Amino acid sequence: MFGKKKNKKKNEEKKYDDLSITSMPDIFYGGQDPDIYHNYEPEKKEIQNKKGPEKKKVVARKQVKTTQKKGNAKLWWIYSIIIFVLAVAGISWYYLKDYFIAQNIVVEQNNQNSENTLKNNETNIGNNTNTVVSSTDQIVTSTIKTETTTSTTALDNVFLEFLPILTTDASDIDADSLTDIEEEIFDTDSGTWDSDSDNYYDGQEVYNLYNPKGQAPVRLIDSGLVKEYQNPITGYRLYYPLSWQRGSVDIQESQVLFSASTGEYVEVRFFAKTLGQQFVSWFSRYAEGQNYNDLSSFTNRFSEEAFVRKDSLVAYFEDSNYVYVMIYHTDDRGPVVFRHIMQMMYQSFRIQKTNTSLPEQTVFPDVNIGIENNTTTSTDTSSVEIIFPNSTSTTENI
């Protein structure tokens, strides 16, 4: 028992042998607080943490860039709209400048026509009643032109489509200068050279505007086989087959189509001329692909002067204000079916009402004249030659 207590004391003494005793430095006595022992690292970290939000400036720069991109997009759209407006204005000006130029020219022409009409009226005061009526007709005609020319000035943008020169005719069994299909239109006999036995062959009578199935003298317009068309704008007139259909492309009837049931048609158009413009100048400008040397001068049955292409499928008439164009159209480039009807139409063309009338057709005595001596068979012709029987070979009788 007593031995154990002595060991405990020894053990407790050994426990405190390892302890070190540290005394407070003298510098802290008297309430002193030296700075050298302060730890500033936490404060520095706090300052750095406070400066951290300044890094958000990078985000602000990105926002500035996005606004710049939006601004560039707006400028791009503005420039695009401006360019589009300028392009539309330029295109409009290009297509409308000719219209306004032509309109000014037409106004000048109308003023000149009015002055000429007044002068004509003054000079005709002392004339007889018939002369006064004639001058009145001229006044009405010029008034119609003055009122309607403005609506046709857009036709200065001319586009004409021409067939190539075609010189071969369709079948003509009896060789009377009417194709077999044309014989059906005029109700003549396709197997007989002279359907009415008046010694004029059928094609000759149609070409000269007489009835091929009626005893002479009968004019074609009185036969009931054709109609007369009068244009409401310029007043031009012509004959066309009764069985053909007539239609106009526009309200002013500046472009009129006379169509057969087989699809072929004759187009008639008129175009305003510039002041003092000659036909050669107009032709070289607007008759694209056509050769002036292919035309020949021609005077029709009503004394209207014209230019006709050598295959008789195109004809031109003119006055001081307009050029009138007649064109034959077909989808087939083979033999021409209605060449002689085309000839009949430009033979009957009149720019305005005229006092010129067809002479009476001479009646021949009933004699037998051989067909061989009085016909011209031609499937490759530039125009129909007017052929008369040998007994009276004179143009004045037709």
**Beta strands 322-329 and 295-299, pairing class:** unpaired
Backbone angles phi, psi at 74, to 5 degrees: -65, -45
370-380 per-position pLDDT tens digit: 433 443 333 34
- What is the model's pLDDT at position 199? 81
* Regions of the chain where pLDDT drops below 50: 59, 62, 64, 117, 120-156, 366-398
- What is the model's pLDDT at position 100? 66
Whole-angstrom CA distances from 313 to 12, 161, 292, 304, 344 are 147, 12, 14, 17, 11
- What is the model's pLDDT at position 191? 85
Q: Which residue has the tokens 């699809």?
A: 263
Q: How many angstroms separate the CA atoms of 311 and 381, rounded?
A: 7
238-264 per-position pLDDT tens digit: 999 999 999 999 988 999 999 999 999
- What is the model's pLDDT at position 103? 61
- What is the model's pLDDT at position 293? 95
Whole-angstrom CA distances from 361 to 185, 202, 357 are 22, 14, 12
- What is the model's pLDDT at position 126? 42
Backbone angles phi, psi at 278, to 5 degrees: -90, 160
DSSP designation for 363: P
Q: How many angstroms separate the CA atoms of 199 and 207, rounded?
A: 15
DSSP readout, 230-288? Answer: E-TTT--EEEEETTSEEEESSTT-SEEEEE-TTS-EEEEEEEEPPTT--HHHHHHHHST
